[in-house]
Structure 1
Amino acid sequence: MSFHELNARFRRLHKEHPAWRLLRADHAPVILAFIADLFEDDNEVAFGRARAALDMELERLREQGSLDSKENAPGYLRQWIQSGWLRELDDRLSKTDACEVALRFCRQLDQRESGATASHLRIVQDAVRDLSVALSPDPGERTAILEARKAEIQRELDDLQAGIVRELSDSEQRERIVEIYQLASVLTGDFRRVEDDIRRLDQSLRIEMIESGGGRGAVILKLLEQERLLADSDAGRAFDGFFQLLCDPNRSTELREQLKTILIRPAAKHLNDTQARFLGKLMRELNKESDRVFRVRRRTEEKLRQFVESGAASEMRAVDRLLGRLERLAVGFKDAAIPLRHDTGLALASGTVKISSPASLRLKMPEEQLHTRGIEAEQNASTPSAAMLEQLHAVQVMQIAEGMRNIVRGSRIPLSVADVLERRPIEAGLEELVACLRVARAVGAAELSGRQTVSIADRQGRRFKAEIPHYLLSAEQFPERLEELQL
């Protein structure tokens, strides 16, 4: 690629790419610091919480004289959403892929110790070895490579059987565990790219529907083709791999247990609190990101269907054709020698406004009258009645979550919701049962095939049976702070 081509490409990225615009924005350190702090514990934050946190920081910066702008917090958040640094869905904010790229760039400037380590070389060597096996068309060559790997594994087994345990040095432990964090920290970027691709797919389909003029059948064929291209993209394949992992309870449980084992080893001392907390809740965050992608995809499909069924595409196509005709007429004015103040002789059929002020507006009164005979005014009571208090036996979901966590932590094996209810019987009826299922879904419990039958009792002591999904719970799925659960 030539110098001029690279120069043109970098100029375009410097002007258009959201990550580059974020890095060169006014008060970029303030924006990056606020976003990094806001999403330190969660990848999704309620808009109201973000607004309150930003209001507090803006007031503090203005008191220090570091900020002159009078813009309020909602205005800043809307600007960041329009700039492509944040995304809003269902009144909740999340980071975009461009924001992740900018934050990762800034963090790596201060983490150069992991730039060139032996663990990097080991990962490259393993990847090259696996690829050489997969690409080799010669069965003998593949056999030789696999036999060498088999001999290496056998030597390790022989050493272990002989009581020889080779331990990693302190520097090797630091390199490898930091490498695991670096690799895991970029996983959410793949979900962000899938989300961006889905939104670009929606936009491109709408544009093509307006420009092509095809029927609904052509639109559906184009949608299927774009879906296939999305699934074949790098981000789509990565998301498919994540989804297969998350849907397999054995693989996801194995990875969760392995991460838990790593974090209790002495090597975990090389991670700071933020890094250790991120690895501890990695599987839960991947579940949340996967659910978000499915919500975005479902919302996009619904809006696209409404766009097709409403006929908005044909209306926009007609407007586009009219604008095209006007542009062609305007271009012809230059050669037609038409003066700018030429009288066209056209008149628009428009009336005059009769209303001089909002106060002159008068609403039509209804013809029917409301009969108020026999109605007596009653003073509102300041204390609740006994009948009202009887209906306020609400279930405390947080207490139920704490009880379920204690039961699961006391077991050496994962438990289903039915197993938990055997140890902690339900005494508040269906409301308490629904709360238990909400807790299971909030912690990301694996849903197995089949259903389970449980026996529960209501507040009057009446017992009945109910069928519930087969959720499998493990202790590491529950966070240390139950307030983090979205119940």
Structure 2
Amino acid sequence: MTYEYLKNLKATNQTLKLLNSDNFAMTLSFFRAVFTGARETTLPQSRILQQLDDYLYLLNQSYDGLFPRPAQAYLDDFAASGFLRKYYADADEPVYELTPQSQKALEWIESLEKREFVGSRSRFNLIFELLEELEFETGMDDKTRIAKLEAQKLQIDEEIEAIRSRRSLRFDESRIREHYMEIEEIARRLTYDFAQIEYNFRELNTTAMEQIAMRDDAKGEVLGSIFELEDAIRESDQGKSFFAFWQLLTDAQRSEKLSQMLEGLYEIPSISAFDSNRRLKNLKYDLLKSGEKIATVTSRLIEQLRRFIDDRVWIENRRILQLCKAIEKQALEIKEQQPKTRSFVSIPGQQLRIRSIAGKSLYRIRTETSLKQEIVEKEVTIDLESFYHQCYVDEEKLRRQIQEMLQHRQQCSLCEVAAHYGVDKGVAELIGYLSIAKNSHQARIETEERERIPVTDFDGEQKVVILPKIIFTRRIV
């Protein structure tokens, strides 16, 4: 962190530009009121414009017309300065959302607020637990790990005995508040981190599109670049962490457990009195909404790249058609006015080497080769029966069946779908379901659990296929 670095940071960083702007107080207070305070991630233009107009009216009433410009002018400045991101989603009306830089500014301002007390014990325990977990998973051999687990087992038995003998001491008011404040702080930072994750994914996508646009590769090589980009997003450290988080959040058991714990959180009298606004009540919904937005954005980025390739192929095909029409036109002109010279048309490009048939050598009689070893042909039995059992599996039909199952429930397993609609095309139909699950963010494959799915093969025989448990979830809107 040198002098030059900090000087350049002040001149280029959007967060510092926002903090140093003339309307810094009005801008951040408005963002806090309509976005983070209202738990909104995006706002349509008509709504944010109305709220900004009302907010400016209140400020002008209190501060003697301090902000004379119309609300639309200030909103345009927010977007042009990079404080808000303006884009078109699924409608003609543009929508606005906070950029990661603006969220960092809000987070920094919130960190300046004086706290009644800092839970140093909880934070140290968290650090200690993370270090222990890292040591257990990386620095211990199997024998040491087993010994550590045995020690934990003994400690759990002692705690159970202490509870039975009523010697167990529960948390006092101080520790309850300390734990709650730490949970709230981590949840708040996690919500802010989602915007940065989405921004990083978009930056990766933009870089890839620029590289593809500058390259003059064949279609196959460009498609390979798209698949590499998709793998790069998913296999990056940030991608692995996010998609692992998303899998945990959409897990049925964990999701239900999280809802129960959040409901029971405010049944604790000290927490209910400490946080009367119940700021963590909608934590699960906020996480699902933010995570769903990132998962959807990731899918749209890949789809956007594919459309980019389609447009590029269309341009190439259009150029080929133009050349063909030009050749046809020239051929018709030559038909009406036959050329008088041998050379009447030229093709730009490299000179072709034309090999005349007269330049080939005459036929040479080949000498027969006698084989002394007798070749005995072995009888090979080929079973052609399998060729008559080929079938086509319609994945769109399978998707519709999954969506119909999810109309009245949050999630369903592959076993439930198979039991409801049946599997009459054998293992091929199950492979179709597996392909849908692998390529969808609304599906999860739990390799630790198994399901027994009855299928009917081509001969009408009933068989049972054992597969990892697959769960399809309904998209959060």
Q: What TM bracket, shorter-length normalisation?
A: 0.5 to 0.7
Q: What's the counterpart of residue 28 of structure 2?
A: 32
Q: What's the counterpart of residue 187 of structure 1?
A: 190
Instruction: Check 1:164–1:103 CA distance in 2 against 1; reply closer, same or farther (3 A cut).
Output: same
Q: Tell me the distance in 2 between the aligned counterparts of 1:92 and 1:209.
A: 29
Whether contact under 8 Å (1:191, 1:293) holds in the other structure is yes
Which one-letter code corresponds to 1:15 in the other structure?
A: A
Q: What's the counterpart of residue 83 of structure 2?
A: 85
Whether contact under 8 Å (1:178, 1:270) holds in the other structure is no
CA RMSD of aligned residues (A): 3.0
Task: Report the 3-state secondary structure (helix = DSSP H, G, I; strand = E; otherwise coil) of the residue aligned with 2:412.
Answer: strand
How far 1:227 sits from its partner (Å)?
2.4
Q: What's the counterpart of residue 228 of structure 1?
A: 231
Task: Report the 3-state secondary structure (helix = DSSP H, G, I; strand = E; otherwise coil) of the residue aligned with 2:208.
Answer: helix
Whether contact under 8 Å (2:84, 2:102) holds in the other structure is yes
Q: What's the counterpart of residue 261 of structure 2?
A: 258
Unmatched 5+ stretches in structure 2: 317-405, 421-475
Q: Matches of residues 163-242 of structure 1 in structure 2 within 5 Å?
A: 163-242=166-245
Whether contact under 8 Å (1:114, 1:178) holds in the other structure is no
Deviations 1:124-179 (A, max 9, x none): 11111111111124223323332332222222111112123311121111111000
Which one-letter code corresponds to 1:187 in the other structure?
A: L
How far 1:314 sits from its partner (Å)?
8.3
Whether contact under 8 Å (2:248, 2:254) holds in the other structure is yes
How far 1:21 sits from its partner (Å)?
1.9
Whether contact under 8 Å (1:197, 1:230) holds in the other structure is no
Deviations 1:66-118 (A, max 9, x none): 66454322332233233333234524333232222211111111144565511
Instruction: Check 1:111–1:92 CA distance in 2 against 1; reply closer, same or farther (3 A cut).
Output: farther
Q: Matches of residues 274-313 of structure 1 in structure 2 within 5 Å?
A: 274=277, 276-277=278-279, 279-311=280-312
Q: What's the counterpart of residue 155 of structure 1?
A: 158
Whether contact under 8 Å (2:118, 2:178) holds in the other structure is no
Which one-letter code corresponds to 1:18 in the other structure?
A: Q
Q: Tell me the distance in 1 between the aligned counterparts of 2:46 and 2:142.
A: 61
- Residue 139 of structure 2 corresponds to residue 136 of structure 1: yes
Instruction: Check 1:71–1:262 CA distance in 2 against 1; reply closer, same or farther (3 A cut).
Output: same
- Residue 4 of structure 2 corresponds to residue 8 of structure 1: yes
Whether contact under 8 Å (2:15, 2:101) holds in the other structure is yes
How far 1:265 sits from its partner (Å)?
0.7
Instruction: Check 1:8–1:152 CA distance in 2 against 1; reply closer, same or farther (3 A cut).
Output: farther
Q: What's the counterpart of residue 472 of structure 1?
A: none
Q: Tell me the distance in 2 between the aligned counterparts of 1:7 and 1:314.
A: 50
User: Deviating runs (4+, > 6 A) in structure 1?
Assistant: 312-315
Q: Tell me the distance in 2 between the aligned counterparts of 1:264 and 1:295.
A: 35
Whether contact under 8 Å (1:18, 1:85) holds in the other structure is yes
Instruction: Check 1:231–1:242 CA distance in 2 against 1; reply closer, same or farther (3 A cut).
Output: same
Deviations 1:300-339 (A, max 9, x none): 3333333322239989xxxxxxxxxxxxxxxxxxxxxxxx
Q: What's the counterpart of residue 64 of structure 1?
A: 62
Rg (Cα) greater in structure: 2
Unmatched 5+ stretches in structure 1: 316-436, 454-485
Which one-letter code corresponds to 1:41 in the other structure?
A: A
Task: Report the 3-state secondary structure (helix = DSSP H, G, I; strand = E; otherwise coil) of the residue aligned with 2:97.
Answer: strand
Q: Matches of residues 434-445 of structure 1 in structure 2 within 5 Å?
A: none
Q: What's the counterpart of residue 470 of structure 1?
A: none
Instruction: Check 1:137–1:168 CA distance in 2 against 1; reply closer, same or farther (3 A cut).
Output: closer
Whether contact under 8 Å (1:55, 1:72) holds in the other structure is yes
Q: Tell me the distance in 1 between the aligned counterparts of 2:64 and 2:111.
A: 26
Q: Tell me the distance in 1 between the aligned counterparts of 2:40 and 2:179.
A: 25
TM-score, normalised relative to structure 1: 0.60
Aligned pairs, how many? 324
Task: Report the 3-state secondary structure (helix = DSSP H, G, I; strand = E; otherwise coil) of the residue aligned with 2:96.
Answer: strand
Task: Report the 3-state secondary structure (helix = DSSP H, G, I; strand = E; otherwise coil) of the residue aligned with 1:448.
Answer: strand
Q: What's the counterpart of residue 383 of structure 1?
A: none
Whether contact under 8 Å (1:14, 1:21) holds in the other structure is yes
Deviations 1:426-471 (A, max 9, x none): xxxxxxxxxxx99x7xxxx732234699xxxxxxxxxxxxxxxxxx
Q: Tell me the distance in 2 between the aligned counterparts of 1:140 and 1:297.
A: 42
Q: Tell me the distance in 2 between the aligned counterparts of 1:234 and 1:139.
A: 26
Task: Report the 3-state secondary structure (helix = DSSP H, G, I; strand = E; otherwise coil) of the residue aligned with 2:2.
Answer: helix
Aligned partner (choices 123, 127, 131) of residue 124 of structure 1: 127
Aligned partner (choices 72, 75, 97) of residue 73 of structure 2: 75
Q: Tell me the distance in 2 between the aligned counterparts of 1:131 and 1:288.
A: 30
Instruction: Check 1:313–1:7 CA distance in 2 against 1; reply closer, same or farther (3 A cut).
Output: farther
Whether contact under 8 Å (2:249, 2:255) holds in the other structure is yes
Q: What's the counterpart of residue 410 of structure 2?
A: 446
Instruction: Check 1:88–1:38 CA distance in 2 against 1; reply closer, same or farther (3 A cut).
Output: same
Whether contact under 8 Å (1:18, 1:84) holds in the other structure is yes
Q: Tell me the distance in 2 between the aligned counterparts of 1:29 and 1:119.
A: 34
How far 1:253 sits from its partner (Å)?
0.6
Q: Tell me the distance in 1 between the aligned counterparts of 2:252 and 2:240.
A: 20
Q: What's the counterpart of residue 13 of structure 2?
A: 17
- Residue 40 of structure 2 corresponds to residue 43 of structure 1: yes
Whether contact under 8 Å (2:119, 2:182) holds in the other structure is no
TM-score, normalised relative to structure 2: 0.61
Task: Report the 3-state secondary structure (helix = DSSP H, G, I; strand = E; otherwise coil) of the residue aligned with 2:21.
Answer: coil
Q: Tell me the distance in 2 between the aligned counterparts of 1:102 and 1:111.
A: 17
How far 1:266 sits from its partner (Å)?
1.9
Q: Tell me the distance in 2 between the aligned counterparts of 1:12 and 1:294.
A: 34
How far 1:248 sits from its partner (Å)?
1.2
Whether contact under 8 Å (2:56, 2:67) holds in the other structure is no
How far 1:270 sits from its partner (Å)?
6.0
Q: What's the counterpart of residue 52 of structure 1?
A: 50
Task: Report the 3-state secondary structure (helix = DSSP H, G, I; strand = E; otherwise coil) of the residue aligned with 1:163.
Answer: coil
